[in-house]
Amino acid sequence: MRLLHTTTLRLEEFFASSATDRRLGNQGIPKYAILSHTWGVEEITFQDITRDRTIARHKTGFSKVRESCRQARADGYAYIWIDTCCIDKTSSAELSEAINSMYQWYKDSAICYAYLSDVLIHPKPSNSTHRRHPFYTEDGNSSPSYSRWFSRGWTLQELLAPVKLQFFDKNWSSIGMKEDHTSAISEITNIDVFALNGGDLRRLSIARRMSWAANRQTTRIEDMAYCLLGVFNINMPLLYGEGAKAFIRLQEEILKISNDQSLFAWKCPLVEFYREEYSDDFKPQGLLAPTPELFQHSDAISQFYSETAGRAFPVSTSKGVQLEFLMCQDMGYPSGLVYLAMLNCPVGHVPGRLPAINLKRLSPSSEQYTRVDTSQLFMFGSYGSTGQIELEGFDPRKPQRQLVEIRSRTLYSDWNVQTIFIKQDTQFALPPGFWLVIPEPFSESDMVVIQAHPRDLWDPTTRFLQPQVDFRQGLGTLEARKLGALLIRCEDFDRSWSSSRLQITYCVLIFGTACGGSVPWCHLSPARGYNEERNEQMSLGPREQADSFQQSRIDTYLQREFDNFRVDAFSIPMDLEAAGRHVHICDALQQVTVAELRSVSGKEVYLLHLLTISKYLDGKST
């Protein structure tokens, strides 16, 4: 590490020669003071201190460097570490190493000076509030507030790591040592006195430690994760530009060294309650929080202690993170895919209460889940014969017959321990798509799809329409649902003429699903509105464009046909599910459409066949 000489203001580099040296107090590194502060204008950089320092002396930030060196000399320290000038931030490798080492550097320091540039000590406090809280800052137009130092992300580790920490106001007058104000600091920051007094942070739950950062800010979004590395004893590379993914990466690293499920005990109260009829804009959540802010209400969550072996450590797989939860089906959702998953982390000062979250299975046969309803954490306990919560609680590693949700007094039954997979970035499984099949001996030019609805779900290259999951409709509904429509131009030769003639017909094919999505249906009709029973005869030769409509008119026409089609007036046989397919005959066009659910290359799809009646009858006879 580089240290600044407090007299010469020159940088010198030191190395701990071995891990033993570090354990024995870094004998390869001299005793040093360290500065904790919030950045302001014209800070002194590594380049300023290593080049012409006459320029640096005229910068606003130089007084901070000068005064911190003066204080260190007065305390008997020849060296000090200051982040602004002891790190060459033009080197990404050096910056990454420094940030990963920073917690340890603060911990190894002889003393840390916390400089509060927005606090001025009043020699005679005007009221009891100032006597109680020496960290108030005031401006002339607003009520007192706490120093900005207590709301910055980087100062969290600078508050926790040092063995000795002394506060100074804007004039470098001492406010006192950390131990002199422990109660006040705990009230301001919501950090446990145990942690402020140097207690082992590993004894506190991950959720509680995350809650300390919930109301802090950093200039760069990635730093909200990087400033927490030391708090969780994590080392990981820095990737500026990754944005909020940095915090996800931090949590993924925590999963590798901890089985504390309080990491999942976060909520987003501003999010509306999850409902299964949500539309396509509903975004499934991963198990990991996108920001520390969501741990704001998790400060009362503890670790789960047991003399016996706890949960198995999470395992990362191609299916997602493999985890073990005590789970039961949430019968409040008709799909049967929503579950409650118990977290093994007690809540609050009353024994026997554990939190739970909602998970949704991606499909009935899937082992993968995603989190839903992040607006709340459920609270469960077991009731005794007196109707009170049993203080001895229950073991979340063992099946439970019945547990009660404490707030709603709702009883949930049949809890079992399950091993599941959860991906952070996932989507619900898409339903089968519709594939228009060109029957032999027709070519692609004989059957032209002029337009599809919804247009953005149609792939003209593969002739495939992929419906979206629509929670408003409900995938489990038994009634018929319309999902798409095609405007098709069909060409066929009429050999009854003395000379070859080309017969052209236009039709509208509307399709959907029934029986809970297990079987497709289809309906074919002439495109009367598009071309009033148009049946052109033309000589062979260059083909004219079939489309005389403007594109916008075609879109409007097909959407109108789709919207006006009444599914309830369309006769669908009751035995459709047993038949496994649906056939619709259009006498006006002398054509047949067949819709069937088939497995193609291992994936279920709805096949749509468009045939002449004679071709269909020939196929049945064979």
Identify the pLDDT of residue 473: 45
For residue 67, pLDDT beyond 70:
yes
> Once rounded to an integer, what is the mean pLDDT over residues 51-79?
93
Inform me whether the pLDDT recorded for 242 exceeds 60.
yes
pLDDT band at 199 (very low <50, low <70, confident <90, very high): very high
DSSP assignment letter at 410: E
Mean per-residue pLDDT for 531-554? 50
Q: Sorting pLDDT into bands at 50, 70 and 90, what band is 543?
A: very low
Of residues 545 and 145, the one with the higher pLDDT is: 145
The answer to whether residue 316 scores a pLDDT higher than 80 is yes
| Predicted local distance difference test score (pLDDT) of residue 569 | 77
pLDDT above 70 covers a percentage of the chain that reads 80
Q: Which of 227-241, 332-346, 570-584 has the lowest mean pLDDT?
A: 570-584
pLDDT at 349 over 90: no
Torsion angle defined by CA atoms of residues 427, 429, 431 and 434, in that order, rounded to the nearest 10 degrees: 80
**pLDDT grade for 484, boundaries at 50, 70 and 90:** very high
Residue 429 region by backbone torsions, left for phi larger than 0, else alpha for psi between -120 and 50, else beta = beta
CB of 356 closer than 8 Å to CB of 371: no
Q: What is the pTM of this model?
A: 0.72
Q: Could you tell me whether strands 464-465 and 434-437 are parallel, antiparallel, or unpaired per DSSP bridges?
A: antiparallel
In this prediction, residues 488-492 reach a mean pLDDT of 81
For residue 552, is pLDDT > 90? Answer: no
Q: How far apart are CA 590 and CA 613, in angstroms?
A: 6
Q: Is the per-residue pLDDT at 474 higher than 50?
A: no
pLDDT (mean) for 485-510? 74
Give the model's confidence band at 441: pLDDT under 50 very low, under 70 low, under 90 confident, else very high: low
List the structure tokens of 438.
């060109």
What pLDDT band is residue 283 in, cutting at 50, 70 and 90? low
Characterize the bridge pairing of strands 79-81 and 33-36: parallel
Please, which pLDDT band fits residue 350 given cuts at 50, 70 and 90?
confident
Strand 481-494 to strand 447-453: parallel, antiparallel, or no bridges (unpaired)? antiparallel
Residue 475 has pLDDT above 50, yes or no: no
* Parallel/antiparallel/unpaired status of strands 354-361 and 338-342: antiparallel
Give the tens place of pLDDT for each residue, 371-395: 888 888 999 998 777 777 777 778 8
Q: Give the integer Cα–Cα distance in Å for 591 and 137.
A: 82
Q: What is the pLDDT of residue 374?
A: 87
**Structure tokens of 7?**
């007299």
Q: Look up residue 458 and give its DSSP letter.
A: E
**In this predicted model, what pLDDT tens digit does every residue of 411-427 receive, in sequence order?**
999 999 999 999 887 65
Average pLDDT over residues 506-519: 85
Q: Output the average pLDDT for the chain.
A: 83
Can you give the pLDDT at residue 123? 64
User: In a 10 Å sphere around its CB, with 0-12 CB exposed, 13-18 middle and 19+ buried, how is residue 97 labelled?
Assistant: middle
Is the per-residue pLDDT at 537 higher than 50? no
- Reported confidence tier of residue 362, pLDDT bands at 50, 70, 90: confident
Kindly report the number of other CB atoms within 10 A of residue 338's CB atom. 20
* pLDDT exceeds 80 at position 573: no
Q: Which has the closest alpha carbon to 182: 130, 133, 231?
A: 133
79 alpha-carbon distance from chain centroid: 44
Lowest-pLDDT range of 126-130, 242-246, 606-610: 126-130
pLDDT at residue number 254: 96
Point out the least confidently predicted range of 76-85, 291-300, 348-357. 348-357
Average pLDDT over residues 260-266: 95
pLDDT one-digit tens code per residue, 1-60: 999 999 999 999 998 765 555 555 556 899 999 999 999 999 999 999 998 888 889 899
- How open is the CA angle 86-89-94, to the nearest 5 degrees? 80
Burial of 347 (0-12, 13-18, 19+ CB in 10 A): buried
At 529 the pLDDT is 72
Mean pLDDT, rounded, for 441-465: 84
